[in-house]
Amino acid sequence: MLTRREFVRMGCLAAAGRFVLPSGAALARAAPAGAAAAAAGAADKKKYNVLFIAVDDLNNALGCFGHPVVKSPHTDRLAARGVAFEHCYCQFPLCSPSRTSLFTGLRPDRTRVYDLKTHFRDTIPDVVTLPQVFRRNGYFAARVGKLYHYGVPSDIGTSGLDDAKSWDEVVNPRGRDKDEEGKVTNLHAAVSKGLGAALAWYESEGADDEYTDAKVAAETIRLMEAHKDKPFFLGCGFYRPHVPWIVPKKYFDLYPAPERIELPKDPPDDRSDIPAAALPVKQPNYGFSDLDCRKATRAYFASISYMDAQLGRVLDALDRLGLADRTIVVFWGDNGYHLGEHGLWQKMSLFEESARVPLIIAAPGAKARGRISPRIVETLDLYPTLTDLCGLAPPDGLAGASLRPLLDDPAAAWNRPAYTQLRRGAAQNAFMGYSVRTERWRYTEYDGGKQGAELYDHQRDPRELTNLANEPRYADAVAEMKRLLPAARGSPA
């Protein structure tokens, strides 16, 4: 039962958009007294903290991954502290299914979350999530912003599709960007597409600290300051570069005029060998002009740089508080993002630009620092990696594998492929597409091959411009990749 003081504190925090989520386990963790308290404190100081930074709709357009234009100095600084994984893949290129796979450690066909409405507690109610494992082991677990799914921008300032069992405290920031949504340039205005799916931007006149992501950074820092003497699992969920791209004008000014922004140079017949099921949008670039596409790309880059600046504040605080040497920092994007490749924008394809996500892990004690791993890894690998690094027992049945060996030697032997899937169609006509990625190949089937297949050779064709699936001389490669594909469903290869 809550005391009156605890009840009043909860009310005050709720009024400020912050919520303390009591549970029997949390309330039972009373501080021991005397010598026991000292021993417990000493043990706590030996535990690694986890700072888990999730970024919404961020592709690999970052300096540390070799992007020639995007300015991301603070993400690059984090990469210099740890290992950047240049070939990490999400399990489903959509916010909720991807985040659900990460935090449950299960593939989408196990969670049965394929959309933005289904909550995993309705399909797998007893699953133990990644933050739950830490919470059960005496860690303070909290999130600020978007860790599980909620709609952007519609649900900003709310808990959305959160999971109360995962956290001791949650904070739902809301900034100036919510108040400026009516000022955006919306390329999809004519078709009344919601802002969460429209190419829309605004060069705002506000100061950095007025926007939602700045408030995410500020609240993350506050929680680190408040809990620096106890082990914590802290989720920091940034919103940009998810649309609408509303950030201060000075971040747009970091980039050339739209006319000088380059677009992908695909051959005129690029789509001729691509199955229809592979294309979520049939009209290339939605029919927008090249100039509009350049403006949208520039707005996306500006939003990355604004998010990066807020990340810098969090990293500065980690150093200032003396936490860097005992905190594992994970930086992760929930899905990739097309910027005109194959005439596509946003996500929900099984091409490289949609399935590939940024991942950086900076772990105290890891032997490799500032290196890039070329190995193929998955979002699912984060659950076993973090429990391994922190010496915690994970639940049975996790689909991923610990990346710990690659943190010591980023080029170590590693023969696991990565799987990404999506769902096409509606209701009874819906079907799945499954894709498997190895270091050389990507192979994709839609509806078991009935709606088409794709094979791309990444040694010779990293942009996936030539589909080899129907070429007789590649029949052996197709057969080998088909053999791997059942594991995407959780079946043995």
Give CA–CA dist 409/374, Å, rounded: 11
* Residue 95 bears catalytic tag: yes
Of 139, 129, 196, which Cα lies nearest the Cα of 25?
Answer: 139
The number of helices, as runs of H, and strands, as runs of E, in the chain is 16, 19
Tell the burial category of 201 from Cβ atoms under 10 Å away from its Cβ (0-12, 13-18, 19+). buried
Task: Show the tokens assigned to 361.
Answer: 């892990």
Q: Which residues contact residue 366 at a Cβ distance below 8 angstroms, ignoring those fewer than 6 apart? A: 82, 83, 407, 408
Q: What does the CA dihedral 301, 302, 307, 310 come to, rounded to 10 degrees?
A: 140
Give CA–CA dist 250/203, Å, rounded: 8
Question: In sequence order, which ranges of 69-149 are alpha helices (DSSP H)?
Answer: 73-81, 95-104, 108-111, 120-123, 130-136
Give CA–CA dist 487/418, Å, rounded: 10
Of 87, 65, 76, 141, which Cα lies nearest the Cα of 403?
Answer: 87
Which of 74, 149, 338, 342 is catalytic? The answer is 149
The tally of CA atoms less than 13 A away on the side-chain side of residue 259 is 0
Of 145, 306, 319, which Cα lies nearest the Cα of 228?
Answer: 319
Angle (deg, nearest 10), helices 290-320 and 73-81? 50
Give CA–CA dist 81/371, Å, rounded: 9
* Residue 87 bears catalytic tag: no
Task: Show the tokens assigned to 294.
Answer: 């350049």
Give CA–CA dist 186/195, Å, rounded: 8
Which of 64, 88, 90, 95 is catalytic? The answer is 95
Task: Please identify every residue annotated as catalytic.
Answer: 95, 149
